[in-house]
Amino acid sequence: MNTRAIFAIIRKDLKVVSQNKGVVLPIIIVPLVMFAILPWVLTRAPALVNIAGVSSGNVDGLIARMPAGLQGALSGLNINQQITVFFLVYMMAPFFLIIPLMVASTIAADSFAGEKERKTMEALLYTPTTDRELFIAKLLSGWLAAIAVALAGFALYVIMANAAAWSQMGHIFFPNAMWLVMIFWVVPALPGVGLGVMVLVSSRAQGFQDAYQLGSFVVLPVVFLVIMQTSGAIYFNVTLVFLLGLVIWLLDGLLIWLGSRSFRRGRLMGA
């Protein structure tokens, strides 16, 4: 395996992507809004609940309809703390999963379909790299960037969530064990889904926008998780998040296997 060539392609892809405002701006703005601004808005939730005239009885009723595990996690907290923890820890968890998926899909769309559109792929195919090295390099550029953005976003969120909720919680309450499993087990797996889908979609797409639109359905399962969590149908705990990660890793394996089969020089050349 020619690691020098692999890193050269990763360097090239990331440099090229970093020059594309259409790709970079959403990658910066979405995490900033979610992890720097949203915690401050969500920690105002108890005040908003009071303004809306919702009594503590109403909130207790809402929590009583939540899964038992979540009720246990919130027990021992006062009502303001319960609302803060409910939003910042549990409601935000599925939203967080959108970030690595979005970053990986965007970079992969630019790296696979965008390269075809810019007609820069042909020169790459004439280099001594093997199909496997090219495929690995293309996957890694999206994967590494997605994990880096997600980890940076997580670090920012840890600071912002604790800072924003300090007046209510009075101590560092975040992250909990569920989030740590999510960050170190689920987040590294998620880019694989976005990348795998984009590899398959890019072979049919004419360019970056085309691939991006075709591949955007990849976030639907995460939206589904958000709805399930919000409605109380599921509850993100350590076990569920671990199982979720396992399913995603298996899905990665399948998608990457399918992608590697379609990633052939001749096909990329349009033959």
Nearer residue to another protein within complex by CB, 60 or 122: 122
Nearer residue to another protein within complex by CB, 118 or 204: 118
Q: Does residue 66 touch another protein according to CB under 8 A?
A: no
Task: Report d(CA 41, CA 58) in Å as an integer.
Answer: 21
Q: Does residue 25 touch another protein according to CB under 8 A?
A: no
Beta carbon of residue 133, minimum distance to another protein (angstroms, whole number): 8
Nearer residue to another protein within complex by CB, 125 or 250: 125
Q: Does residue 266 touch another protein according to CB under 8 A?
A: yes
Q: How many angstroms from the chain centroid is the CA of residue 242? A: 16
Beta carbon of residue 158, minimum distance to another protein (angstroms, whole number): 34
Nearer residue to another protein within complex by CB, 19 or 231: 19
**Contact track, another protein, 105-124, x by CB under 8 A:** -------------xxxxxxx
Nearer residue to another protein within complex by CB, 13 or 252: 13
Cα-based distances in Å from 254 to 195, 196, 241, 257, 267: 12, 8, 20, 5, 20
**Residues near another protein (CB under 8 A), total:** 29
Q: Nearest CA to 82 among 70, 67, 68, 92?
A: 70
Nearer residue to another protein within complex by CB, 15 or 204: 15
Q: Is 217 exposed, middle or buried (0-12, 13-18, 19+ CB in 10 A)?
A: exposed
Task: Report d(CA 216, CA 79) in Å as an integer.
Answer: 38
Two structure tokens written together for 46: 């108890």
Q: Does residue 21 touch another protein according to CB under 8 A?
A: no
Nearer residue to another protein within complex by CB, 136 or 183: 136
Q: Does residue 166 touch another protein according to CB under 8 A?
A: no
- Single out the segment in contact with another protein by CB under 8 A; choices: 2-10, 206-214, 218-226, 248-256: 2-10
Q: Does residue 265 touch another protein according to CB under 8 A?
A: yes
**Among 55, 58, 78, 130, contact with another protein (rule: CB under 8 A):** 130
Beta carbon of residue 130, minimum distance to another protein (angstroms, whole number): 5
Beta carbon of residue 128, minimum distance to another protein (angstroms, whole number): 4
Binding stretches for another protein (CB under 8 A): 2, 4-5, 7-9, 11-12, 15-16, 19-20, 118-130, 265-266, 269, 271
